[in-house]
Amino acid sequence: MSEYVTKETFEKMREDLHRLKSVDRPASSRAIGEAREKGDLKENAEYDAAKEAQGMLEAKIKQLEGVIANAKIVDPATIDISKVSILTKVTITNIATKKTVTYQIVGEKEADLKAQKISASSPIGKGLLGKKKGEIAEITAPTGIMKFKVESIAI
């Protein structure tokens, strides 16, 4: 599945992958080598732990390579702000509570509620995608249906 990311997030993922391959992978190999030198591998817990850590590291590298290979970089200059889409900032008002909040719709890798960035695949993100200013988004939540009015859309 494609992941929509900004250029900055894409570059950060590439840096993380480079670090995993050039720093963490050699360190993992050294740890296995050191544990192997300590004797009988059948009863060597340190060796088993180092092999397990190496397996998790390799899985993380493979997963990150997959995300990078399928990433779609979104350029903010090409975003249509007539409707809610990836990377738009949308100000919404909860119809029931009259509380107004602004969220940026982002891909899963960039989602951070504290920074007011919500994933396009989250219930609220899905419900808002494609809505225009003034429209009401009905979002199914565990507590029932929530209604949000789209107040504004910006970059």
Q: Where in the chain is the domain with CATH 3.10.50.30?
A: 76-154
Write down the residue that tokens 């990150």 correspond to: 64
CATH class as words, domain 3-73: mainly alpha
76-154 is classed CATH 3.10.50.30: yes
Output the pLDDT for position 41: 64
Q: What is the pLDDT of residues 132-142, one digit of tens each?
A: 999 999 998 88
pLDDT-derived band at 20 (thresholds 50, 70, 90) equals very high
Q: Where in the chain is the domain with CATH 1.10.287.180?
A: 3-73
Q: What is the pLDDT of residues 33-61, one digit of tens each?
A: 888 887 766 677 888 888 899 999 999 99
Coil/strand/helix, residue 86: coil
Please name the residues in contact with 144: beta carbons below 8 A apart, sequence gap of 6 or more: none
H runs (alpha helix) in 37-115: 45-70
Q: Which helix (H) or strand (E) holds 110?
A: none
Residues in the chain: 155
| Radius of gyration of the chain measured on its C-alpha atoms | 22
